[in-house]
Chain A
Amino acid sequence: MKSKKLEIEQVASFLRDGMTIMYGGFMGNGTPPRLIKAILDSGVKDLTMIGDDTAFGEDLAARGPEGVGLLIRNKRVKKLVTGHIGLNKEAQRQMLAGEMEIELSPIGTLAERIRAGGSGLGGVLTPTGVGTSVADVKMDVTINGQKFDQKQTININGRDYLLELPLRADLAVLEAVVADKSGNLVYYGSMRNHNPLMALAADTVIVEAHQIFEVGYINPDHVMTPSILVDHIIYPI
C-alpha cells in the first residue's frame, strides 16, 4: 500500500494562489494548527476559505486557538464562507472595511451544503433562513433552463424552503486525534464537528493527526471517517 505520510514541508506543493480550502473545526477546536501554519508559511494568497467560524482573535489567545484567524490576520483570505465571526475583531474589521468578502451562512446550512457537495447531491432545501437576509443573497443559478440572479425560495406542499447549492473545495485541511496509516480517522469529543463532512467535499484531503497507529488498531465499527477519503496524513511530531 502506498504511504499516505506527508511531511509538513511538502504541504506547499498542494497550494496555489486563489484556491478554495475547507478547514475543519468549531471555534478552532478541530482546526489543524500545523496545516494552517503551513498554508501561511507557503506564502499563498487570495484564498477562499470555507469553515464554521473565525475562532478566537489574537486578543483572545488566552481563551482559545486562533484557527483560521492566523490566515485572516496576515491578509491571505480574499473570501470567507462561514457562520460566525463574533470573537474575531480583525475578521469583523476586514469585512466592514470591504477588505475581505464574507458570506455569512447559518451553520446548519453551511454543513449541509458541504455534505451535498461531497455526496453527489444537487442541492439542499432548508427552512432555515426563509424570510431573512439569508434568502436575499445574490446567486447565479439556472433551474430548468431559466437563469436566476438570486437565491430561490421554493414552496413544497405548503412550506417555504431555500434552495442552497452544494459546496466543494480544492483542498480540505482536517484534524483527527487518531489515524491509522491507511487514513481511517477517529475524532475526540467536540473536535469532530465539520471534519467528516469536509473529508467528502474536497479534491485533496490532508489530515493532521495527534496519534498514528498501524492498520488494524482501530476497530472498523469505531472509524468515523473512512480511509478512502483521506489522501495525506501529517504525522505527529
Chain B
Amino acid sequence: MTQEMSAKEFIARRIALELKDGDVVNMGIGLPTLVANYLPKDVYLTLHSENGFLGVGPVPDNVPPIGEPRIVNAGGNPCSILPHGSTFDISMSFALMRGGHLDACVLGGLQVAENGDLANWMVPGKNVPGMGGAMDLAVGAKQVIVAMEHTNNGEKKILKKCTLPLTVKSRVSVLVTEKALFRFYDGKMVLEEYAPGVSVDEIRAETEAAFTVSDNLKEMVISQVGM
C-alpha cells in the first residue's frame, strides 16, 4: 500500500478484482461505489439499481431540472441507463435481489461477526437512517461482499457477535478491510489474504472474532487501474 492511498481506496481496489466479467452487481452507497472506478479494463459489469433498473450508466450531459422526468440512482442522484438496461417496478427489482438473481452485492459495514452476521444499518439513538434495501440485498445476493475499515478509531468491528442491530444473519461471503481479506465457509471465518506489510499477529490483535488462517494464505493484490 502506498503512503498516499486511503484505506477506502485500498479496499475498493481489492474488491474490484473480486468481480468477474459479466457479473450483475448491486453496489451500496459510499465506499462500495468506489469499486467501479478500479475495475480492470476487460471486466464489464451490469449494475443493478434497487429503485428499479439494470444497466446503471454515467451522469448524462444534460440533467433535467428537479420536477422534470429524470432518471436517478438509489441515492436519488442523476444517472443514465445503458442501452442493454431495463426498467421495472420495485417488486421486480427486489425479486432480483431477494431471489438470488444478482451475482454479488457490495455493502458497507459497521460490524461483522465470525459467523458471517452483518450489522450496517443503524446505531441506536444516534443514526437511524432505515435499512432501505440492505436487508433484501444481503439475504439474497449470491455473494455478499462487505467493504469495511478494520477498526473504528481503535474500536474493534470484526467481532464474535455483533452488538449493533443486525442487517442479516450469517450471509457475508467475503470481508475486505485495509489489512485483511476473510472468506466465510459454512459460518466459519478464514483469513486468506493480508495487506502488504501487515502481519497475522497484527490482524489477530485488531480482530475479536475467531478465525482460522488459510493454508494458502497470501499477500493481497489490488487493482492497478489508474496508478
Tell me the A residues contacting B by CB distance below 8 Å.
26-29, 33, 52-53, 55-56, 63-65, 82-87, 92, 95-96, 104, 106-109, 111-112, 115, 126-134, 177, 187-197, 210, 224
Q: Are A84 and B132 in contact (CB under 8 A)?
A: yes
Q: Are B91 and A106 in contact (CB under 8 A)?
A: no
Closest CB of chain B to A233's CB: distance in Å?
A: 17
Chain B residues lying within 8 Å of A64, measured Cβ to Cβ, are 66, 72, 76-77
A-B pairs with lowest CB-CB distance, top 5: A86-B129, A27-B76, A108-B94, A108-B136, A189-B71
Q: Are B135 and A26 in contact (CB under 8 A)?
A: no
Asked whether any CB of chain A lies closer than 8 Å to the CB of B223, the reply is: no
Chain B residues lying within 8 Å of A177, measured Cβ to Cβ, are 69
**Bound CA span A65–B165, Å:** 30
Asked whether any CB of chain A lies closer than 8 Å to the CB of B49, the reply is: yes
Please tell me the number of chain B residues within 8 Å of chain A, measured between CB atoms.
Answer: 42
**Bound CA span A92–B122, Å:** 12
Known: A29-B76, A126-B98, A133-B165. 11 other contacts (CB 8 A): A26-B52, A26-B74, A84-B132, A87-B129, A92-B129, A96-B125, A109-B136, A132-B135, A132-B167, A188-B69, A191-B69
CB 8 Å contact bits of B21-48 with A (1 = contact, 0 = none): 0000000000000000000000000000
Contacting A190 at CB < 8 Å: which of B66, B87, B166? B87
Chain A residues lying within 8 Å of B89, measured Cβ to Cβ, are 111, 192-197, 224
**Bound CA span A194–B167, Å:** 23
Asked whether any CB of chain A lies closer than 8 Å to the CB of B168, the reply is: yes
Tell me the B residues contacting A by CB distance below 8 Å.
49-53, 66-67, 69-77, 81, 87-91, 94, 97-98, 125, 128-136, 139-140, 165-169
Q: Are A189 and B76 in contact (CB under 8 A)?
A: no
Q: Are B67 and A104 in contact (CB under 8 A)?
A: no
Q: Are B52 and A132 in contact (CB under 8 A)?
A: no
Q: Are A65 and B67 in contact (CB under 8 A)?
A: yes
**Bound CA span A127–B73, Å:** 25
Q: Are A106 and B72 in contact (CB under 8 A)?
A: no
**Bound CA span A55–B69, Å:** 16
Chain B residues lying within 8 Å of A196, measured Cβ to Cβ, are 89
Contacting B133 at CB < 8 Å: which of A85, A104, A107, A112? A107
